[in-house]
Structure 1
Amino acid sequence: MDLMTLVPNFWWLPAILAAVLLVDALMSFRPPKFIKDCLNGVNFPQDWWWTLIVIKLLATAGLVVGIFVPGVALAANAGVIAYFLAASVAHVRARFLKQEFWVNCLGILALAVVVFLFSFVV
């Protein structure tokens, strides 16, 4: 595999995803009602909410570093897709399919898939 395929085709796509994840992580420090409702709706223990902030901040860092370092944004982007796929499964299993699921969870998942496709595949 050529090294250039491991660097995003358009640097600004991973940057946009990183910005969205950063805002999401920062909001989670003092989560607004819709984030609380989402996490409670899937029965995610409040004692573990901090882990989601760490995951999103690490993904943000990986996406930014990966603009310059081959392979890092690809791995971070794949991780974001896996994270939001798992979150989607949690929503479906808990039957918590309210607006938070459709807008936040599936919205960021769709963004991550688009970024992946146009940054590393197309």
Structure 2
Amino acid sequence: MILLPDPWWLTALLAVVILSDAALSVRPPAFIRDCLTGVGFPREWWWTLLVIKLLAAAGLIVGLWVPGIAFAANVGIVWYFVAAAYAHIRARFTGSEFWLNCLGMLALSTVVLLVSYL
């Protein structure tokens, strides 16, 4: 295993996607609101997801130069979306939001982890 991402641009792409997701989370559009409401995530805790996403993106960006940081951030992102998938399944909220948003992000973050670090 390597401690710096190779190719680096996949990690940078994931950082851009996570930053975009964080930007959307400031004023969540309908599909994000539906997702959070559908799994029963309390509205007063939605701000925590913004913090998590910003920290994850920062970890990915810093990790382009600091060994191990992007790897740890990428692993955290994968587990974040595993937890999100579990929440969707447990709440039986498995509509298009689950398949496109949740599993799509899980697939992207898993591919980046596998390709960049194995």
TM-score range for the pair, normalised by the shorter chain length: over 0.9
Secondary structure, counterpart of 1:6 in structure 2: coil
Query: Does residue 1:115 correspond to 2:86, yes or no?
Result: no
Consecutive unaligned residues of structure 1, counting only runs of 5 or more, are none
Query: Does residue 1:46 correspond to 2:43, yes or no?
Result: yes
Query: Does residue 1:90 correspond to 2:87, yes or no?
Result: yes
Write the letter of the residue equivalent to 1:54: V
| 1-structure distance, mates of 2:65, 2:101 | 28
Q: Share of identical aligned residues, percent?
A: 63
Q: CA deviation at 1:53?
A: 0.4
TM value normalised by structure 2: 0.98
| 1-structure distance, mates of 2:90, 2:115 | 31
| 2-structure distance, mates of 1:12, 1:93 | 35
Q: CA deviation at 1:31?
A: 0.5
| Aligned alpha-carbon RMSD (Å) | 0.8
Q: CA deviation at 1:23?
A: 0.5
TM value normalised by structure 1: 0.95
Dislocated runs of 4+, deviation >3 Å: none
